[in-house]
Amino acid sequence: MQNILVTGGAGFIGSNFVRHILRAGADLRVVTLDALTYAGSLENLKDLPHPEKHAFVQGDICDRTLVENTLDQHKIDTIVHFAAESHVDRSILGPGPFVQTNLVGTFTLLESARLVWGESGGFDGRRFHHVSTDEVFGSLGPGDPAFREVTPYDPRSPYSASKAGSDHLVRAYFHTYALPVTLTNCSNNYGPYQFPEKLIPLMILNAIRGAPLPVYGDGLQVRDWLYVEDHCEAIHLVLEKGRPGETYNIGGGNQPVNIEIVRLVCAILDELHPQGTPHERLITHVPDRPGHDRRYAMDITKIQAELGWSPRHTLGSGLRTTVEWYLSRPEWVTVIAQQSGYNEWLEKNYGKRGGGM
Ligand code: NAD
Ligand code: DAU
């Protein structure tokens, strides 16, 4: 029996992963540890497959006693660490929580695993998997090659700097203490349950209510989009077959400019949720994000060659499924907005930018 601790499992990717792993494995139990910040919600963990195999613990990954007790009581042998402050714009407006959760929280988990596992049978059969981002590698120019696992770190926002620091800590625990870690650095995810502060769900929900679609700057920035289920499959494979101490890059091979993503969302909505005039009329250019990274792209040769992973979803199919999901879940949207103070966030981030949000 495998006992898996998923930190941040009430958030976007974490909750998709909890679903994925409960569906996939007969012989496992999952414990979600989540502080339920604005980004986490029990709404994301409703209707799980095999709910009898899942337990929820509300708490902060910085709380050492709680983390140690959870590892001990649930006999955890595998940690999949998603919990983080994850939004770049929030890190610009208030970096403190990013340093606390992403650095101190990751450190607390590492120390707890080292101690609890060290005192209960050693590290054999144990795994600490750290979920990280392509943003640690910095920003690419138009002709630069895609990020590889060996690309030097060059983070440029408080968010990516705190994730970079957490990656270094995780690797330090492998080299210094032989803690069996693996890391994945992934590009931009999209799909069901994504908090609507991120580009794609924000655009879908604004378009549905006829509000402006705020494109930062010229909208020609490039991200490497990946459907969330593909990310979950990649992490699962790394848990099963990845080599301790190794890092694997994950990406979708989809690199349209932002404005094109917004236009694609509009076109899908024109078909599924027509409102008389094309949704594209709502596109509004607003002042840019400070320090905005221009382009990300992931070289996924290593995970393809070593583990046989490739994304299964195309951008077209993934976006359509995502738009359909948000259109079919108005109750989820309402509850999430109420729980998280969403309107205050819109005012805080977009109020000064103008554009009539
Ligand atoms: P999210 O913001 O949707 O969810 C984060 C979750 O962590 C929430 O449930 C929140 O309540 C929880 N959390 C935050 N602080 C906590 C704390 N101190 N203690 C316990 N729980 C806490 O994030 P996401 O988009 O699902 O991202 C998950 C992970 O994947 C993050 O580590 C992020 O850096 C990484 N990542 C995200 C993307 C992406 O495109 N979203 C891409 C690559 C990597
Ligand atoms: O690359 C992986 C990262 O992707 C993850 O590590 C982060 O957790 C995740 O938030 C995401 O970061 P981005 O900053 O790339 O994602 P976001 O959805 O915030 O923005 C995507 C692009 O769209 C970016 O170039 C900024 C732009 N954008 C975003 C918002 C919210 C807009 O033009 N307008 C907007 O309103």
pLDDT digits (tens, 9 = 90+) for 39-73: 999 999 999 999 999 999 999 999 999 999 999 99
Containing 47, the helix (H) or strand (E) segment is: none
pTM: 0.98
- Helix, strand, or coil (residue 216): strand
Pick the catalytic residue from 34, 77, 85, 135: 135
Q: Which tokens hold the place of 164? A: 């970079």
Q: Which residues line ligand 1 (CB under 6 A)?
A: 7-8, 10-14, 34-37, 39-40, 60-62, 82-86, 101, 105, 131, 133, 163, 186, 188-189, 195
Q: Which of 82, 137, 232, 339 to mutate to test the pocket of ligand 1 (most atoms within 8 A of CB)?
A: 82
The number of the ligand nearest the C-alpha atom of 197 reads 2
Residues 6 or more apart whose Cβ sits within 8 Å of residue 323: 204, 265, 268, 269, 272
Residues 6 or more apart whose Cβ sits within 8 Å of residue 126: 77, 78, 113, 117, 180
pLDDT band at 144 (very low <50, low <70, confident <90, very high): very high
**Nearest-atom index, ligand 1, CA of 61:** 19
DSSP letters, 59-93, are --TT-HHHHHHHHHHTT--EEEE--S---HHHHHH
342 in active site: no
**Nearest-atom index, ligand 1, CA of 190:** 40
Share of the chain above pLDDT 90, in %: 97
The domain ranges of the chain are 3-187+228-251+296-314
β-strand partners of 57: 33
Containing 117, the helix (H) or strand (E) segment is: helix 106-119
Pick the catalytic residue from 34, 60, 85, 134: 134
For the segment 198-242, what is each residue's pLDDT rounded down to a tens digit? Answer: 999 999 999 999 999 999 999 999 999 999 999 999 999 999 999
CATH number 3.40.50.720 is the correct assignment for the domain at 3-187+228-251+296-314: yes
Q: How far is the CA of 264 from the centre of ligand 1 (A)?
A: 26
135 in active site: yes
pLDDT band at 26 (very low <50, low <70, confident <90, very high): confident
